[in-house]
Structure 1
Amino acid sequence: MAIIDASARIMETPPTGNDMAFNHGILCQVGLPRAKVDGSHFLRQSGDAWMSVQAGLLDEGKGPVQQPVPYGALPRLALAWVSTYAVRHKTAEIPIGESAAEFLRMMGKDNQGARYNTLRTQMHALAACRLQMGFKGRTWSAQPVEQFDAWISDKESDQRPLWPGTLRLSDSFYNILMESPVPLDNRALDALSGSALALDIYCWLAHRLHRIEGRPITLHWRSLRDQFGQEYQGKNPDKDFKDAFRVQLEKVLMVYPDAKVKQVNGGLLLMPSRPPVPYKG
């Protein structure tokens, strides 16, 4: 099982080289939607942090096309890959290939043809969307992507595209990313790539646990659902969220073995922990 193999590798060998990935600090606190959004707007709030996602337009070769709000695991993985490239190379201009198939290979995900169309749809949505992010009285308004060369075809072909296949991050998104990128273990991201909720929990703990000073912190299920579970709207949303969160948390703790998190009556106990990748300095 991939999660077990990844857990063993992570426990045996510290992350080095390509094992290291990076993500935007605010995106580690409030994630993109995990399920398809009805309409063109999504809002998520967690304590003092919040994020609004507004769907936009993208030229797909024949004029403007209305895009959906990006959602699911693939936009998260793509943003982490793009952010990692930006941090490593200190550049806002990112090569993304000339097709979704090529970008999947660049992300290290070969032979996943069934995901080409999904990745194309979600990357186009991500490139077109407008984000607003806020924290304690300060608001950032930006599109993460300033310029995007659309993948005109779902599949590889002999026809050369008009543009070279690049993505340019907006200055505001890039500057905040470079100020304090959150280090992650790419082996963990790969192992959790089948669940947007697991990716969100992992990024959140990687950002949060090492910042705890002094006494442990108790988070109740209600506040956790406010942060992670607004997608759960069935007959018993609290129970549905709690059940789903527990399953994914167990997987996350397998690939973040230094995370000191304990389930207690009414919620979770978070204790000071080492980050999955040590911060330099």
Structure 2
Amino acid sequence: MATAKSTADPRKLTRAEKLIDASAKIMDMQPEGRDMAFTHAVLCQVGLPRSKFVGREFMRQSGAAWVNVQAGWIDEGNGPVQQPIPYGALPRLALAWISTQAVRMKCREIAIGSSASDFLRMLGKTATGGKTGSFSMLRMQMHALAACRLQLGFKGRTYTDQPVAQFDAWLRDKDHRQKSLWPGVIVLSESYFKSLTEGKKAVPLDNRALLALSDSALALDVYIWLAYRLHDIKGKGVTLYWKSLREQFAQEYRGKNSDKDFKKRFLPALKKALAVYPTARVKPVTGGILLLCSPPPVAYKE
């Protein structure tokens, strides 16, 4: 039965309403055109830190896949400034959006809007000022993402690069929305671009789902992982226990109750991801979850 389409502005909805609205639209209509998004295959298995990371190098490993993120430097107008490791939902959304444009336009030079407000809107974020507002967070995370060096490894092959080859710093001023200070363009490195457009490393996603999950880095990671994993499962499915799930998604959880603590965070994130991936077949079992073969949220092209 068809679901009624919502005409509400998604930026004005609560988090719960945004999720319900996106779920209804996804069940009602297959993704097409602007609903299509892409991200790198290795980042579907192991992702960036979800919370602020203290240190200059971050490593996460899951099975045969691993990612190493090294913080870099950005010239902010008066020489080099050390950048942190990118973390949270914003760099995930930005990298997916940039990767999507690269796949769609077949071009390394990506337009990122005429202003910071414009780019935030494209990422499903509300523009807010102040030290803890979305403008300040976007500036910090975009500089960190542009400066960082990534190593992605899987089954004997290592890919090493900076995804961003050129980024003009977003200079500080009293009003971060000033258009003249927004770079407007970001240039991907040739090797990262080729891995997306020629190396079959671009995993198709539903952008409506990404926008609905934009407030939770963990829910984004779970959705992207399921989108990559479920359609390749064979036979009676794969059971994953809490220890292995924690090692993949939350190696920072340590101590006596680490699996239990992780489970409390993971299950709500899984519920959100499944709300915008209605064809996913994931069942709770004793000690973990069962993954069953499911159609991808966006069909792969032959």
TM-score norm. by structure 1 comes to 0.94
Question: What code does the residue aligned with 1:207 have?
Answer: Y
Give aligned-pair identity as a percent: 63
Partner secondary structure for residue 60 of structure 2: strand
Q: Which residue of 2 aligns with 1:121?
A: 140
Is 1:22–1:182's contact at 8 Å kept on the other side of the alignment? yes
CA offsets, 1:29-72, max 9 Å, x none? 11100011111110000000000000000111111000000000
CA distance in 1, matches of 2:298, 2:195: 20
Find the partner of 1:201 among 202, 222, 225: 222
Q: Which residue of 1 aligns with 2:279?
A: 258
Pairing of 1:239-250 with structure 2 (within 5 A): 239-250=260-271
Q: Which residue of 1 aligns with 2:191?
A: 172
Tell me the CA shift for residue 111 of structure 1.
3.9
Is 2:26–2:276's contact at 8 Å kept on the other side of the alignment? yes
Tell me the CA shift for residue 273 of structure 1.
0.3
Choose 88-97 or 18-27, whichever is displaced more: 88-97
Is 2:146–2:164's contact at 8 Å kept on the other side of the alignment? yes
Tell me the CA shift for residue 156 of structure 1.
2.3
Question: What code does the residue aligned with 1:276 have?
Answer: P
Q: Which residue of 1 aligns with 2:11?
A: none
Q: Which residue of 2 aligns with 1:77?
A: 93
Residues 1:140 and 2:152 are matched in the alignment: no
Question: What code does the residue aligned with 2:264 have?
Answer: D
Structure 1 unaligned segments of length 5 or more: list them: none
Choose 235-244 or 61-70, whichever is displaced more: 235-244
Is 1:73–1:199's contact at 8 Å kept on the other side of the alignment? yes
Q: Which residue of 1 aligns with 2:123?
A: 107
Tell me the CA shift for residue 153 of structure 1.
3.0
Residues 1:30 and 2:62 are matched in the alignment: no
Query: Aligned residues, how many?
Result: 279
CA distance in 1, matches of 2:204, 2:115: 28
Structure 2 unaligned segments of length 5 or more: list them: 1-16
Residues 1:63 and 2:79 are matched in the alignment: yes
Tell me the CA shift for residue 98 of structure 1.
5.7
Partner secondary structure for residue 152 of structure 2: strand
Residues 1:185 and 2:206 are matched in the alignment: yes
CA offsets, 1:223-251, max 9 Å, x none? 11110011324663221111100011011
Is 1:53–1:132's contact at 8 Å kept on the other side of the alignment? yes
CA distance in 2, matches of 1:153, 1:72: 22
Partner secondary structure for residue 133 of structure 1: strand
Note the aligned Cα RMSD (angstroms). 1.7
Q: Which residue of 2 aligns with 1:151?
A: 170
CA distance in 1, matches of 2:89, 2:255: 22
Residues 1:54 and 2:70 are matched in the alignment: yes
Is 1:55–1:129's contact at 8 Å kept on the other side of the alignment? yes
Pairing of 1:203-242 with structure 2 (within 5 A): 203-233=224-254, 236-242=257-263
Question: What code does the residue aligned with 1:50 have?
Answer: W
Residues 1:43 and 2:62 are matched in the alignment: no
Question: What code does the residue aligned with 1:93 have?
Answer: E
Is 1:43–1:51's contact at 8 Å kept on the other side of the alignment? yes
CA distance in 2, matches of 1:112, 1:270: 39
Is 2:46–2:61's contact at 8 Å kept on the other side of the alignment? yes
Tell me the CA shift for residue 280 of structure 1.
1.6
